[in-house]
């Protein structure tokens, strides 16, 4: 088996494992109301539920008040045009539909049921969809092939009072139109003056051409091809939507049609655009080769044929990824929030303009952080925003909601300034928070050494890192053990090629390493023999010496043993006048957003001075995630009402912080619930200096911070990133024994991000 085959096999296994473990599929349903007592039961179910039913029976619009309808979207397919895989059937399409549902939730907080229907007949399918109206706030039709998709959508739109949107048609058309608008701007051309050749007259192709026509491209300036050749007036196999673009002469061939054309739009299949035809196009042609997963022409081929070409594909590994994920979560968010009865042309055009304008605007610090190292200034390689651009949600949903209200299809009027603020706050309430860190790591060239390189979790993390980064991770461990475990785990890591190994039992650097350790420790009771023994047996010390000598930029240890034991060796080798541990910060990602807790491991009993230092370091690290820190000093005491140890400690630290002129919000001392509940805080501590919910909780001892961290992880189901060792310039991180391979991957991303300014 070739290395490529092995890698493809491993990727396939990883994708299947992702879908299968730890439980099958990508979705679950969770209740939003308590169900703990008889009283809850009586309200949620009989008899209380009858009151909600009767309120809706009297006034159907009350369903959006008393049920989850308003935020619930159906992703519906019959599996007849799944991605570029074709008609693979309803059952096989389910992973895609679950995936769309996940994107709705993660990008825009929208709940979805995925519904796969075994029904090829468009009228029967449409009838079934129409009957679902009582359940949903909106319908997203997905991967239904042309021409049936046109009829299904037409029937549903005419009969339903909620938005019906065929994503492959309109989502794609909106993103294509935004990219085309920007490309034309750069080419200095007007839509009215250009000529387009399109390959693919399916759901996506027809909708994109219709949208481009709405933007000003004359229909006569568009020539379309499908499997049977050019669309011409004599064709009898086409539906009205396709006939609208069938005006080319019958004998037109692709190469001739492309002569002098300004734009190629491919929504068909792989490799269908010959490079020779590209060289016949106008100067600086626009080439959108959007078939998934393999485009009509690969970007490098197109560029070789026409060096000035502006190129987009559907793929994330090239610039200008045109994918409807840039649109559908956000257009639905806006439509649902004003209870729009439909998604009309005004809303779609507002969406086009919002997406196009985001790419033209100067990027914000958050986007810069999220895509560190990539050129994000408007130009041929940045025609449209990136999928993880945090501006997408507030900008698009706001524009769509406004267009719905202005065009009279909104049933609810909202205050747009309030709405913008709400949307902006929502952006960071998700695990997307780690995305920026991963992208920053991908762009940097920091070498990471794992002290416990034989641990299978480390091996899995190292394998996952390779997909994203060019630098080889370094593993401390015995090569034969590492090789055997790689094989046993079915990983494809190749020692020396993909990872470097430092063998504690036999390594040419051993002498250099023990001498370095001895030199640093000789006046702290370490003899040469002891230094040799430590560097033979203690992998944490080896990793720390490597970082000290510059053989690695950052180390990760701690998959076994006690945190402070590891910290001891980190300090011995890496502590300097400028770098000193300031505390351990744990980021816990909860359903309603991220929460940071410190110090969970370093300062067992804080002093006023160490506590203030922990707070300042935490603020710096929280900003690294693009979040404004709002720090609460937590204690059993509240604004001086207890003469307890932590009460006094917090009050002292607060005074130190006040003298330090901090540029972030902090306040204390207060109880944890008061920190997290702004209304309660306003009532109990009027005039306090925090705005909104605190997002960083600082405690006076590792006992208290550790308990908060563990409760958030276990009882509240939070996902932890960390602990992040603060103060050591990102040169060392110490995980805890329960860490998973994903947790190690997260920490490796943090360690790998080139953020020397964060200590």
Complex with ligand NDP: residue 314 or 594, whichever CB lies closer: 314
142 marked as binding residue:
yes
85 marked as binding residue:
yes
Complex with ligand NDP: residue 237 or 643, whichever CB lies closer: 237
| Pairing outcome for strands 222-226 and 229-230 | antiparallel
Closest CA to 676 of 632, 708, 636: 632
| Range 92-151, binding Mg ion (CB under 5 A) | 143
Q: How many CB atoms lie within 10 A of CB 144?
A: 28
Q: Which of 114, 168, 366, 455 binds ligand CC(=O)C(=O)O (CB under 6 A)?
A: 168
Instruction: Rule CB under 6 A: say whether 268 interacts with ligand NDP.
Output: yes
Kindly state the smallest distance separating residue 142's Cβ from Mg ion, in Å. 5
| Site pattern 173..212 for ligand CC(=O)C(=O)O (x: CB under 6 A) | ----------------------------------------
CA atoms within 13 A on the CB side of 749: 24
Q: Which two tokens stand for residue 270?
A: 């792989």
408's CB contacts (< 8 A; 6+ apart) are none
Distance of alpha carbon 194 from alpha carbon 184, whole angstroms: 9
538 marked as binding residue:
no
Instruction: Rule CB under 6 A: say whether 323 interacts with ligand NDP.
Output: yes
Query: What is the DSSP code string of 349-397?
Result: HHHHHHHHHHHHSPPPHHHHHHTTTS--SSBTTBSS--TT-TTHHHHHH
| Pairing outcome for strands 72-77 and 138-141 | parallel
Instruction: Rule CB under 5 A: say whether 168 interacts with Mg ion.
Output: yes
Q: Which residues are catalytic?
A: 100
755 marked as binding residue:
no
Binding residues for ligand NDP, rule CB under 6 A, total 29
Complex with ligand NDP: residue 141 or 545, whichever CB lies closer: 141
Give residue for tokens 């051309």.
189
Instruction: Rule CB under 6 A: say whether 603 interacts with ligand CC(=O)C(=O)O.
Output: no
Distance of alpha carbon 187 from alpha carbon 306, whole angstroms: 14
Q: How many CB atoms lie within 10 A of CB 571?
A: 16
Q: Which two tokens stand for residue 584?
A: 């351990």
Q: Which of 67, 292, 357, 656 binds ligand CC(=O)C(=O)O (CB under 6 A)?
A: 292
- Exposure b/e, 412-426, CB count within 10 A at least 16 = b: eebeeeebeeebeeb
Yes or no: say if 543 and 553 are a contact pair by the CB < 8 Å rule: no
Q: Which of 111, 116, 168, 452 binds ligand NDP (CB under 6 A)?
A: 168
Instruction: Rule CB under 6 A: say whether 84 interacts with ligand NDP.
Output: yes
Complex with ligand NDP: residue 174 or 574, whichever CB lies closer: 174
Give residue for tokens 């935490």.
618
Q: Which of 116, 143, 148, 366 binds ligand CC(=O)C(=O)O (CB under 6 A)?
A: 143
Yes or no: say if 704 and 606 are a contact pair by the CB < 8 Å rule: no
121 marked as binding residue:
no
88 marked as binding residue:
yes
| Range 668-697, binding ligand CC(=O)C(=O)O (CB under 6 A) | none
Kindly state the smallest distance separating residue 267's Cβ from ligand CC(=O)C(=O)O, in Å. 9
355 marked as binding residue:
no
271 marked as binding residue:
no
Q: Which does 228 bind (CB under 5 to 8 A by kind): ligand NDP, Mg ion, ligand CC(=O)C(=O)O, none?
A: ligand NDP
Distance of alpha carbon 344 from alpha carbon 340, whole angstroms: 9
Phi/psi at 488 (nearest 5 deg)? -60, -35
Residues that bind ligand CC(=O)C(=O)O (CB under 6 A): 83, 143, 167-168, 292, 323-324
Residues that bind Mg ion (CB under 5 A): 143, 168
């Amino acid at each position: 088996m070739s290395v490529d085959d092995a890698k493809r096999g491993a990727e396939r296994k990883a994708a299947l494992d992702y879908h299968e473990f730890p439980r099958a599929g990508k979705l679950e349903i969770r209740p939003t109301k308590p169900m703990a007592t008889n009283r809850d039961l009586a309200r949620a179910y009989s008899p209380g539920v009858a009151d909600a039913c009767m309120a809706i029976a009297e006034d159907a619009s009350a369903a959006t008040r008393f049920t989850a309808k308003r935020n619930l979207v159906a992703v519906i397919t019959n599996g007849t045009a799944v991605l570029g895989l074709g008609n693979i059937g309803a059952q096989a399409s389910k992973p895609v539909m679950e995936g769309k549902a996940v994107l709705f939730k993660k990008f825009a907080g929208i709940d979805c049921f995925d519904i796969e229907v075994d029904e090829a007949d468009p009228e029967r399918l449409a009838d079934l969809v129409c009957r679902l109206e009582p359940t949903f706030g909106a319908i997203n039709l997905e991967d239904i092939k042309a021409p049936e998709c046109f009829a299904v959508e037409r029937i549903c739109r005419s009969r339903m009072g909620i938005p019906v949107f065929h994503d492959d048609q309109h989502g794609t058309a909106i993103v294509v139109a935004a990219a085309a608008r920007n490309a034309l701007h750069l080419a200095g051309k007007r839509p009215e003056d250009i000529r387009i050749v399109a390959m693919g007259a399916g759901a996506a192709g027809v909708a994109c051409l219709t949208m481009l026509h709405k933007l000003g491209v004359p229909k006569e300036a568009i020539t379309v091809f499908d499997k049977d050749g050019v669309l011409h007036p004599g064709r009898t196999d086409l539906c009205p939507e396709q006939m609208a673009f069938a005006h080319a002469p019958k004998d037109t061939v692709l190469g001739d049609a492309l002569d002098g054309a300004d734009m190629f739009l491919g929504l068909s299949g792989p490799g269908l655009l010959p490079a020779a035809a590209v060289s016949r196009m106008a100067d600086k042609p626009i080439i959108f080769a959007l078939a998934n997963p393999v485009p009509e022409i690969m970007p490098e081929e197109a560029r070789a044929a026409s060096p000035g070409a502006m190129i987009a594909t559907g793929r994330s590994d090239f610039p200008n990824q045109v994918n409807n994920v840039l649109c559908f979560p956000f257009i639905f968010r806006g439509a649902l929030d004003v209870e729009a009865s439909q998604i009309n042309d005004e809303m779609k055009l507002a969406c086009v303009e919002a997406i196009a304008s985001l790419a033209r605007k100067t990027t914000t610090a958050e986007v810069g952080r999220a895509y560190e190292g990539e050129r994000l200034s408007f130009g041929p390689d940045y025609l449209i925003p990136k999928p993880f651009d945090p501006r997408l949600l507030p900008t698009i949903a706001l524009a769509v909601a406004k267009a719905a209200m202005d065009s009279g299809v909104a049933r609810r009027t909202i205050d747009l300034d309030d709405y913008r603020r709400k949307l902006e706050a929502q952006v960071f309430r998700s695990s997307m928070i780690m995305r920026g860190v991963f992208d920053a790591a991908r762009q940097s060239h920091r070498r990471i050494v794992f002290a416990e390189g034989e641990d299978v979790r480390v091996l899995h993390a190292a394998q996952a890192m390779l997909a994203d980064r060019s630098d080889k991770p370094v593993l401390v461990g015995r090569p034969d053990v590492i090789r055997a475990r790689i094989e046993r785990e079915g990983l494809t890591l190749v020692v020396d090629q993909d990872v470097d190994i430092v063998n504690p039992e036999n390594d040419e650097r051993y002498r250099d390493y023990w001498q370095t350790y001895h030199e640093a420790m000789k006046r702290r009771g370490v003899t040469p023999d002891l230094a040799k023994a430590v560097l033979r047996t203690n992998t944490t010390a080896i990793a720390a010496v490597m970082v000290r000598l510059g053989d690695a930029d950052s180390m990760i240890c701690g998959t076994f043993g006690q945190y402070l034991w590891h910290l001891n060796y980190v300090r011995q080798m890496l502590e300097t006048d400028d770098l000193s541990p300031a505390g351990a910060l744990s980021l816990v990602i909860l359903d309603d957003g991220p929460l940071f807790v410190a110090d969970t491991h370093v300062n067992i009993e804080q002093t006023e001075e160490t506590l203030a230092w922990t707070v300042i370091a935490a603020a710096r690290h929280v900003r690294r995630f693009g979040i404004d820190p709002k720090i609460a000093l937590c204690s059993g005491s509240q604004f001086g009402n207890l003469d307890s140890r932590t009460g006094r400690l917090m009050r002292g630290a607060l005074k130190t912080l006040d003298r330090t002129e901090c540029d972030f919000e902090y306040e204390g001392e207060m109880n944890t619930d008061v920190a997290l509940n702004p209304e309660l805080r306003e009532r109990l501590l009027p005039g306090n200096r925090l705005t909104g919910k605190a997002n960083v909780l600082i405690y006076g001892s590792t006992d208290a911070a550790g308990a908060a961290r563990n409760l958030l992880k276990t009882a509240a189901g939070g996902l932890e990133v960390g602990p992040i060792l603060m103060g050591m310039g990102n040169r060392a991180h110490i995980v805890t024994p329960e860490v998973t391979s994903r947790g190690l991957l997260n920490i490796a991303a943090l360690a790998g991000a080139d953020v020397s300014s964060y200590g």
